[in-house]
Structure formats: C-alpha cells, structure tokens
Amino acid sequence: MKSAYFDDTHAAFREEVRAFLAAEVLPHAAAWEERDTVPAHLWKLLGERGYLGLLHPRSVGGGERDLFTSVVFLEELGRIGYAGLRAAVSVHSYMATPYLTRMADRDLSQRYLASAVRGERLAALAITEPGAGTDLSGLGTTAVRDGDHFVVDGTKSMVSNGMTADFLIMAVRTGAPATGHGPRRTTGLSLLVVDTALPGVARSPRRTLGWRSAGTATITLDAVRVPADRLIGRLDNGFYYLMRGLQLERLTAATLALGGMEGTLEELRAHLRARKVAGEALARKQALVHRVADLATELAAARQLVHHTAWLYQEGELPAVECSMAKLHTTELACRLADTALQLHGSHGYLEDSYAARAQRDARAATIAAGPSEVMRDLIGQAVLT
C-alpha cells in the first residue's frame, strides 16, 4: 500500500527483516521464553546485520539510517509476538544506548557504543527502584563523589536485560532534590554508565507475567566504585536527559505495540476463517465481524498517529504530547485486541502456551512500562488544558 512515510527501500528492508526473524528467531523464540533469555549468538547476528545500530552514528559502526527504517524494524519485531525478545532488543538499541549517542562525550560513547552496536556488549536502562518508578524525585540510589570515582549505593528493580547486560545506563542521585512540588523536585539526578562486572553489583532474576526472555532483574549496588568519567553529560542534569530519552522510549513502545497488533490481528483473522461452529466459519458471524471491524479501524487510526509522531520526531521536534498519545493509545488498544483474540479463541485461547494468551500477558505490561497510562493522560491533559 502507498504511504507518505515509507518508500521502496523501506519495503525491501521490511521483507529482509521479516525473513530474518522467520528464519533466526521464530523457530526458537518459545524456548528462549522458557529460559527467560535472549542467547548471545542472536545478539551477534543482530549486530552483524546492522539491526542494533540503525539509528546510531557511523563513527561507532551504526547505520545512521532514517527513523522510518527503525519504525520498520520495530514493527516487524513487534509483529512476531514475543514481547520479551522485543523488549530486550529495543531497550538495548532505543532506550539505553541512545543516551550515549546524544548526551555523552565522545570518549565515553566510543568506549561503549561500538561493541554495543556489534552485539558484543549489552545495555540495560536502570531507572526504576522498589520505592520509586513514576515519581523520579523519589529515586534513592546515591552516587557520592570520592576522588576520581563515584561510590554508588542502592537498588534498581524491573531492569529489562538486567540479567545479561554488560553495562547499565543508571539514574542516580548526585544532589538533594529541591523542596516543594513539581519538576524542580527532580533536580539532583545524574546518569552514569555502570559496568555490571564491577565489585558490589549483584543481580537476581525476576519472573514476570509476560515479556519472558527479557531477563528482568533486581540489581543491588553496594559501595560500587564507578570511575567519574562514566558520567553522562553534566552532573545533576539527569532528569532533563531522561525527559528527552523517554520520548524515543515511548515512541518505540508505541511502534512495538503497533507491530504486535498487526501480528495479533493476522492470527485472529486466520483463526476466525478456519474455525467452524455449527458448520459456519466464525468469520461469518456478524457479531464477531463487527468487533473485528471496530478493532481494525482503531488500529488503522493508531498506525497514522504513530507514523505521524515518528515523522515529527524525525523532523527534529520533540513531540512529547504525540509520543504520550501514541504510547497511550497503542498500548491500551493492544490490550483490548489481545483480550478479544483470547475470547474468540475460546477455551484453547486460555491455554498458557497459546498465541492469544501470550499476546494478552505481553500487551498488559506495555500500559505500565515506560510510563503508565495514567501518567500519559496527565501529560496529555495538561497540554490540552493549559
């Protein structure tokens, strides 16, 4: 279909990525979910193909491709329907390492990015803590300067890729928060690159409802000495960097959700055409046809919102409101679509290893991760009403 956003190069790339995922990922994805990990050889393969550095600069081995090449990649990754795997890859390439591209100095980004783009060293993003997630002013992991090191103490939770990451992009408290309410309370935060091999770093695996194979971990830091040159950008500017990085994170989440819905709808369509009740395919029952028609229409609208937001982002704007809208709408729609898919698969959809059951538990996480729906509504509402 013709598109204002994609050209023939994107179409060819889509075919290439789809074939790669069908050959190298789909046959093994269920086993990786069982083991809650993405194997090292897949990271290497992704790196060799250039898929881990589509947006990264050529100076570190990236492809420096346009944003819609990444949109294609993320849609296809979403479409395969294993959200743990897509979380692992997208956290590495679109949520953690971009801080090194955009905010870190040249030495620091060279030190970590080249091997990350090759898939040899893995990244994770460690912001959330047991006591603070949406409320960044409550972050309690401290980094205290001691000579040419920071000494880091605290606990990070819900870290996707946490069990396998070689380094963490970590939000730490380097200064006291301002008193009172509002954004000033988030002063005193900084971003550090923390190698997971450093003494004092301990990680424990956490089993999640969905997103299996993302290797989710709780990570404790006990007097970890991090060289001071691992500070990303300027001291105490972490909140502003996060606010910028979170827009790409939300756009990425929306794009993955979009791809996931395409996959779920395809699977549902095949099921409704094949499954017969009283001699008639479910696809011929008007009550179901209308439900699918409504969902397909909402999906078409969601697709336009995501692509328009990506276009704004590519044009150099920071479309914070649209990123929130895209994230809110796609992730909530994905839940409704997955729920309908499960219902229309009947009892077989309720089996733990069914496509529909996996789609539902995977979709559920995305309305929380990268900022819950309530926070998206707050941001959108404030923009609309002020």
Residue of the chain from 85, 369, 376, 379 that contacts ligand FAD (CB under 6 A): 369
CB-based closest residue to ligand FAD: 133
239 binds ligand FAD (CB under 6 A): no
- The interface region with ligand FAD, picked from 16-24, 191-199, 298-306, 374-382 by CB under 6 A, is 374-382
**DSSP string for 54-88:** SSS-GGGT-----HHHHHHHHHHHHHT--HHHHHH
Smallest gap from residue 126 Cβ to ligand FAD (A): 5
Q: Which one of 17, 127, 172, 256 is in contact with ligand FAD (CB under 6 A)?
A: 127
Task: List binders of ligand FAD among 135-164 (CB under 6 A).
Answer: 135, 158-160
User: Residue 133 CB, nearest distance to ligand FAD (Å)?
Assistant: 2
Q: For ligand FAD, which residue of 235, 275, 372, 380 counts as binding (CB under 6 A)?
A: 372
Min separation Cβ 366 and ligand FAD, Å: 8
* Angle, CA of 212, 50 and 229, to the nearest 5°: 80
Task: Report which residue type is found at 46.
Answer: L
Nearer to ligand FAD, 69 or 141 (CB): 141
Q: Would you count residue 378 as binding ligand FAD (CB under 6 A)?
A: yes
Q: Which is nearer to ligand FAD, 85 or 370 (CB)?
A: 370
Per CB under 6 A, contacts with ligand FAD among 72-111 are: 91
DSSP-assigned letter for residue 171: E
Are 352 and 30 spatial neighbours (Cβ–Cβ below 8 Å)?
no
Residue 375 touching ligand FAD (CB under 6 A): yes
With 0-12 / 13-18 / 19 or more C-beta atoms within 10 angstroms meaning exposed / middle / buried, residue 92 is: buried
Exposure b/e, 179-214, CB count within 10 A at least 16 = b: eeeeeebbbbbbbbbbbbeeeebebeebebebbbbb
Task: Please count the CA atoms within 13 angstroms of the CA of 51 that sit on its side-chain side.
Answer: 24
Q: Does 255 bind ligand FAD (CB under 6 A)?
A: no
Tally the residues of the chain: 386
Closest residue by Cα to residue 71 from 267, 253, 335: 253
What is the nearest approach in angstroms of ligand FAD to the Cβ of residue 285? 35
Q: Which residues bind ligand FAD (CB under 6 A)?
A: 91, 124-128, 133-135, 158-160, 208, 211, 365, 368-372, 374-375, 378
